[in-house]
Amino acid sequence: SQAFAYSRGVGVLYDAAGTDTYFAHPSDVLYWSPQNPGGSNSSFCQGVGFGRRDDAGGLYMSGGIGILRDAVGDDRYTCGIFGQATGYWYGAGLILDGAGADHYAGQWYVQGGDAHFAIAALLDGGGNDVYGETATRMNAALGGGHDFSVAWVVDRSGDDVVHGPGLSFGTGHAGGFGAFVDLGGTDTYETFSDLSFGNAAIETPGDVARRMSGTVGIFVDRGGTDSYTRPTLAP
């Protein structure tokens, strides 16, 4: 729901104005998640393109295109795993949010984080936004592209507070591309993982295909007096 698309499908949710709440319960489990069995839902809500992966039978189906467009307002987005601008298996998922002080809460493969040959983009038009403050942060968010996927987050303006998990803040992983771009404001960034802030990790160094395609992570903050918190690591 909420801008979801399966194979050969297009799902669009358009909201012109107002203070809106988009809610997919993260932990009242009805839809089993292999990333967190029994603990989280596989939400597939709020701008998601989803395909059929069938490694056993070989009956693969490329995902569709899901787009959530909210033009203006102070909005709240909540989901579990897979949501808020994500794609899976050749799917594409986008959130195009205009002006407003927005709140994003998700766990894994959320907020411009995706997996397996997918495309994800979260474009926020401006406002003092909060990402991840109330969520159980797990992995792959905020421009985290995993396994030959492309993932983007662009925040145009505002004094933002951004909490990220691992594989976040413009990180490419296993042949993926991730980018996080903030174009202005006094921002606060925090993560508990070194796999963040423009990082890139092949994961499997012997994988020839991933070495040929490249793995890329980009983090850009254009202006403002910002603060960063991440683990202290040896070089």
Nearest to 157 by CA among 198, 193, 204, 124: 124
Distance (Å, whole) CA 159 – CA 224: 9
* Average pLDDT rounded to a whole number, residues 30-43: 95
Query: d(Cα 67, Cα 117) in Å, to the nearest integer?
Result: 18
| CA-angle at 142, arms to 137 and 146, nearest 5° | 90
Any idea what DSSP says for residue 198? S
pLDDT in tens, 157-190: 999 999 999 999 999 999 999 999 999 999 999 9
Percent of the residues in the chain that have a pLDDT greater than 90, as a whole number: 90
Provide Rg for the chain, Cα atoms.
Answer: 16
**HEC string of 130-168?**
EECCCCCCCEEECCEEECCCEEEEEECCCCCEEEECECE
According to DSSP, the residues that pair with 12 across neighbouring strands are 67
Q: What is the mean pLDDT of residues 136-156?
A: 97
- What's the farthest any 2 CA atoms get from each other in the chain? 53
Question: In the prediction, which pLDDT does 208 show?
Answer: 83
**Residue 234 pLDDT more than 90?**
no
Which strand (E) or helix (H) includes residue 212?
A: helix 208-213
- Higher-confidence position of 162 and 209: 162
Q: Predicted confidence band at 209 (pLDDT cuts at 50, 70, 90)?
A: confident
Confidence of residue 205 (pLDDT cuts 50, 70, 90): confident
**Residues 99 and 155 sit within 8 Å (Cβ to Cβ):** no
Position 56 pLDDT exceeds 60: yes
At a CB cut-off of 8 Å and minimum separation 6, what does 139 contact? Answer: 35, 108, 109, 113, 165, 166, 167
* Chain mean position to CA 33: 17
Angstrom distance (rounded) from CA 33 to CA 123: 26
Across the chain, mean pLDDT equals: 95
Asked whether the predicted pLDDT for residue 14 surpasses 80, the reply is yes
Tens of pLDDT, residues 101-115: 999 999 999 999 999
Look at residue 15 in the predicted model and tell me its pLDDT.
98
| Alpha carbons 24 and 22: distance in angstroms, whole number | 7
